[in-house]
């Protein structure tokens, strides 16, 4: 299959504003490859707006005690994406709150990037994602792999053969892990990743607090390839800036 499959998981109950629409608009305006976007999870009307996008319905998996449900959902969604595109060798995993604001291609996605040299969170944190990250770190240490933090919140490429092998090895339908940290620490254990730096790289402006510097946000539309946000970083100012950029409003 010649088209790049771009997988975006979508859960309507967790959505903020028009995030998914901005994310899709960014791929359409700036991705310089032949692609198809697969939005898997809940339905969203944006998937009816062109031949370059499709909706793959996937009900949320039942919650399991001690497991982070969202990570189990990813595996469930991806099994359906794989079935929908059986000739693809892999896929790009992106998110509905990652917005391309300058041109890019597969070269910008493929090179290895890390957020930090170690996965380092409070294992007793009330935040389920952070607990899962530390569970992932423990599994990597147990099996003799590095523990670099690859949760960059940027588009990442995965090969089906490799990710399916990880699902089976770590029982990822029932045991939740941070997929990118397993994948890149295991399959790229001897590689030296590029260290992201918000002040010097051209890749990412991450907005994770409502108090984020508005000057940096405005500059990112000219100096970064991607802008992304966490739920805490979603503000009216950011929403207005994205609305103007993508839809001229």
pLDDT in tens, the chain (249 residues): 689 999 999 999 989 999 999 999 999 999 999 999 999 999 999 999 999 999 999 999 999 999 999 999 999 999 999 999 999 999 999 999 999 999 999 999 999 999 999 999 998 899 999 999 999 999 999 999 999 999 999 999 999 999 999 999 999 999 999 999 999 999 999 999 999 999 999 999 999 999 888 898 999 999 999 999 999 999 999 999 999 999 996
Q: How many other C-beta atoms can be found within 10 angstroms of the C-beta atom of residue 151?
A: 18
Residue 19 C-alpha from the chain's centroid: 13
Distance CA(172)–CA(97), nearest Å, equals 24
Q: What is the pLDDT of residue 1?
A: 66
Q: Please, are residues 53 and 122 in contact by the beta-carbon 8 Å criterion?
A: no
CA angle, residues 88, 89, 94, in degrees to nearest 5 = 80
Q: What is the DSSP string of 44-99?
A: -GGGGS-TTEEEEE-PPPPP-TTS-HHHHHHHHHHHHHHHH-TT-SEEEE--TTEE
Reading the block at residue 204, the tokens are: 């990412």
CATH of domain 4-197: 3.90.550
DSSP H or E segment with residue 151? none
pTM, 2 dp: 0.96
Domain boundaries, the chain: 4-197
Q: Please, are residues 91 and 81 in contact by the beta-carbon 8 Å criterion?
A: yes
Tell me the torsion sign for CA atoms 211, 216, 220, 224: negative
How far is CA 136 from each of CA 87, 140, 170, 217, rounded to the nearest angstrom?
30, 6, 10, 32
Q: What is the pLDDT of residue 137?
A: 98
Q: What is the pLDDT of residue 249?
A: 63
Q: Which of 76, 97, 109, 100 is nearest to 4 (CA)?
A: 109
């Amino acid at each position: 299959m010649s088209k790049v499959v771009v997988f975006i998981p979508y859960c309507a109950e967790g959505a903020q504003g028009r995030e998914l629409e901005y994310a899709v608009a960014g791929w359409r305006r700036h991705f310089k490859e032949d692609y198809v976007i697969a939005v898997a999870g809940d339905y969203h009307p944006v998937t009816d707006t062109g031949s370059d996008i499709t909706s793959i319905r996937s009900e949320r998996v039942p919650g399991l005690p001690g497991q982070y449900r969202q990570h189990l959902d990813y595996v469930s969604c991806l099994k359906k994406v794989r079935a929908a595109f059986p000739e693809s060798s892999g896929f790009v995993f992106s998110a509905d709150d990652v917005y391309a604001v300058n041109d890019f291609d597969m070269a910008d996605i493929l090179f290895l990037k890390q957020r930090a040299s170690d996965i380092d969170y409070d294992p007793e944190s009330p935040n389920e994602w952070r607990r899962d990250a530390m569970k992932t770190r423990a599994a990597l240490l147990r099996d003799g792999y590095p523990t670099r933090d690859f949760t960059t919140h940027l588009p990442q490429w995965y090969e089906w053969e490799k990710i399916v092998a990880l699902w089976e090895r770590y029982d990822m339908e029932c045991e939740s892990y941070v997929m990118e940290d397993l994948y890149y620490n295991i399959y790229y254990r001897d590689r030296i990743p590029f260290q992201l730096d918000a002040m010097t790289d051209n890749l990412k402006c991450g907005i994770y607090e409502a108090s984020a510097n508005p000057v940096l946000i405005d500059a990112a539309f000219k100096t970064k390839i991607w802008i992304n946000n966490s739920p805490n970083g979603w503000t009216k100012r950011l929403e207005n800036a994205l609305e103007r950029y993508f839809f001229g409003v």
